[in-house]
Amino acid sequence: MASSAFRIGGDLEVGRLGFGAMRLPTEPGPGREASVAVARRAVELGVTLIDTAYMYGGGANEELLAEALHPYPDGLLVTTKIGLTRSGPSGEWKLDGRPEVLRDQVEQALRRLRVERIELLQLHRIDPDTPLADQLGALRDLRAEGKIGRIGLSEVSVGELKEAREIVDVASVQNRYNLLDREHEPVLAACEAEGIAFLPWRPVAWGESGARAEVAAVAAELDATPTQVALAWLLGRSPVILPIPGTARIDHLEENVAAEDLHLSQAHRDRLDQLSEPA
């Protein structure tokens, strides 16, 4: 069976099946109370990697996680992402990797998450209007100051990853990837070669009906759900993959976490591997 732990940056150990907090409602009321319960249940179930971002509610998601989980239990990694700002009358999100903006967003994230150091901070997107060396240089400075522990990237190409690694150590990459969408296969391969954690976002996505039917057939044979099959496939796909499925429901959370115990035979894997042509 696939190993259930991974060391991000070579030293920060987490369980390989994490939780994406993006979908948790943060508005006051029953939805927020349910969100707090889901976050707490994730930790009860043994999840040690929770992914959030400034973009998720302009920091509201980070504040929600702090409300639910602070003081954080030993071994829990809450990772966040920066590098987007709101602008204009309608509050549109846009890329902004200027060093002063990144520094301010880290300071704000420290405050919202109620920590003195963010163990893994990810650049949500590379800003094409700011030199990459300036963006990563700002994060490198923050790391030197002890405000962040490790630096990650999101939605990068193989070339961008290579360029970034000439400037800083890259501990993680968060790209879109799942059973039916393997566009970033080359990036995954590059991460695997270098021991870089690969956090697929949108780890479960259902494409055309033929593929969906095949996943459902495998699930039926294993007395599992299609979502569990998709997550188990990811866990077995590469030792550096750390899926972060998100949900706002405890029953779905429990279903997702149970995927870690699902064993796919080689025959099942062969069938699933054929559902998407590698990029």
List the domains of the chain with CATH numbers: 5-273 (3.20.20.100)
| 252: its two tokens | 């779905």
- The sign of the torsion formed by the CA atoms of 68, 72, 74, 77 equals positive
Coarse DSSP helix, strand, coil percentages of the chain, rounded to the nearest 5 percent: 40, 20, 40
Cα 71 → chain centroid? 22
In terms of DSSP H, where are the helices of the chain?
A: 30-44, 60-69, 99-113, 132-144, 158-165, 185-194, 209-221, 226-237, 250-258, 266-273
Task: State the Cα–Cα distance between residues 142 and 118, nearest whole angstrom.
Answer: 10
In this structure, the number of other CB atoms found within 10 A of the CB of residue 183 comes to 12
The reported pLDDT for the residue numbered 30 is 96
Dihedral sign for Cα 260, 266, 272, 274, please. positive
Which pLDDT score, from 0 to 100, does residue 89 have? Answer: 80
Give the chain's residues under pLDDT 70.
1-3, 277-279
Compute the distance between CA of residue 45 and CA of residue 73 in angstroms, rounded to an integer. 13
| pLDDT for res 2 | 53
**Is 72 in the active site?**
no
pLDDT for res 100 = 98
- H or E element, residue 24: none
For residue 277, what pLDDT is reported? 54
Confidence (pLDDT) at 279: 42
**pTM of the full predicted structure?**
0.95
Tokens 């971002």 — which residue?
53
Token pair for 229:
């099959």
Q: What is the pLDDT of residue 123?
A: 98
Q: What is the pLDDT of residue 87?
A: 82
Both tokens of 61, joined, read: 């998601």
Taking a C-beta distance cutoff of 8 angstroms, is the pair 191, 252 a contact? no
* pLDDT in the model for residue 208: 72
Which of 103, 61, 55 shows the shortest CA–CA distance to 81?
A: 55
Supply the pLDDT for residue 268: 97
**Beta bridge mates, 77:** 49
